[in-house]
Amino acid sequence: MNHDIDIKNTRINCFRQSKIKGEFLLQMRVPGGTLDAKYLEFVQHICKTWGNGLFHFGMRQCFNVPGIKYESIPAVNAYIKEYLEGVEVGMCNVKMDDTEHGFPTIGGRNIMSCIGNEHCIKANVNTFALARKIEPLIFPGHYHVKIAVAGCPNDCGKAHFNDFGMIGIAKMEYHQERCIGCGACVDACSHHATGVLKLNEFNKIDKDDCCCVGCGECTLICPASAWTRLPTKFFRVLLGARTGKQEARMAKTFLTWVTEDVILQLFANWPKFSAWVLDYKPEYLHGGHLIDRAGYQKFKEIMLDGVKLNPEAKVADNIYWAETEYRRDIHVKPLAEHKKAGPGATSGH
């Protein structure tokens, strides 16, 4: 068939161009990677009716349906109305004026998360509950950002490899009177975490609070509930990771010991920051690059604007990422080619 397709528009509509002419792959968001299992049948129907029968687990926990013909897109979009209304509007409180025409934006990527404390014995938080709360702050949105939520510092949720990665952590309470001095927490902390515990000469535990990562291994192993998590949930927020062909890098800590409330205030500022960097002209550029253009200090200023930090919160004074430069001096170029941020910034991409 002789196609005339605006593939940028189909991409924004979450239909990804295939190597096979006229075919597309539908990417359906699954905020927090966890859904009512009834949607499996729903997705299966799309695969069998309009796709080529294959199904792919999206790398960001999307439902990926390959082999959809361009002509089928309106029918698929009409069919996924129920999904958008159930998952985005109903489950995540996303404001969508139009649910008739499929996904409206691809900018804010699917928010990934591990299973979290719904199931996992290691997790400190309900990961997908947080993902679902962040969802309406970044979707629909044309500014590209990758977000992940991990339930504990094991980081199966890959918080270290996203623009923003949240890791659920817990502040521990030590009930000395319940401690039997077995030293199991000391071993667990040194084997699995940062080794901040020590059995003192009186058979109780001394803790070096400064380097506790809040993982909860002490609580998991304690036979007597001498270590318990405080009820308030805390997070470490990692920043600025990226993969790719130029300068891959792992995230560094931006915030630690912040509450969920702080995180939600933070993401409410993300569209504001992105818009400022790109001078209100969204382009296909991920969050980490926007931070690079603005510089960390400017990023911090805009992102923390009006955010009320909880008393325990700590913020990175500066961040020094370590990049894998695939070409030496990749950032060294004529001044005229430097990317600019803020008012008057022109697209250099």
Partner 1 sequence: MGFSLSLEKANAILNELKKEYRIYAPKRFEKQGRYSDTDIIRYDEIDSIEEIVTGEKSTYSPKEVLFPITQTILYFTEDEYRETKMDDKKILIFMRPCDINARKVQERIYMGNGGFDDFYYKRLREKVKFVMMECTKGWDTCFCVSMGTNKATNYAAAVRFLEDGILLDVKDEELQGYFADVAKAPFEVEFIEGNETVVELPQIPDKKVLNAIKAHPMWDEYNSRCIACGACTIACGTCTCFTTTDLFYTQNANVGERRRTYSSCQIDGFDEMAGGLIFRKSYADTMRYKVLHKVHDYKERFGENMCVGCGRCTDRCPQFISFSHTIEKLNHAIKEICEQPVSQS
Residues that bind partner 1 (CB under 8 A): 117, 121, 123-126, 151, 168, 170, 176-182, 184, 202-203, 216, 219-225, 228-229, 231
- Give the Å distances, CA to CA, from 8 to 69, 110, 178, 271, 279: 16, 19, 62, 21, 21
Q: Give whichever of 149 and 184 is closer to partner 1, judged by the CB atom.
A: 184
Q: Give whichever of 66 and 116 is closer to partner 1, judged by the CB atom.
A: 116
Q: Give whichever of 201 and 317 is closer to partner 1, judged by the CB atom.
A: 201
Q: Give whichever of 27 and 113 is closer to partner 1, judged by the CB atom.
A: 113
Asked if 16 and 27 count as a contact pair (C-beta separation under 8 A), the reply is yes
DSSP track, 88-107: IIIIT----S--SSS----S
Q: How far apart are CA 300 and CA 309, in angstroms?
A: 13
Q: How far apart are CA 238 and CA 164, in angstroms?
A: 6
- Give the Å distances, CA to CA, from 135 to 41, 56, 64: 23, 22, 19
Task: In angstroms, give the least distance from the CB of 33 to partner 1.
Answer: 18
Task: In angstroms, give the least distance from the CB of 203 to partner 1.
Answer: 5
Q: Give whichever of 71 and 206 is closer to partner 1, judged by the CB atom.
A: 206
Task: In angstroms, give the least distance from the CB of 34 to partner 1.
Answer: 16
Task: In angstroms, give the least distance from the CB of 92 to partner 1.
Answer: 21
Quote the DSSP letter at residue 111.
P
CA 24 to chain centre: 25
Q: Give whichever of 17 and 228 is closer to partner 1, judged by the CB atom.
A: 228
Task: In angstroms, give the least distance from the CB of 119 to partner 1.
Answer: 10
Task: In angstroms, give the least distance from the CB of 227 to partner 1.
Answer: 9
Task: In angstroms, give the least distance from the CB of 183 to partner 1.
Answer: 8
**Strand residue runs (E) in the chain:** 15-17, 23-28, 56-57, 63-69, 112-113, 147-150, 164-169, 172-174, 197-199, 205-207, 227-229, 234-239, 247-249, 252-258, 314-315, 323-325
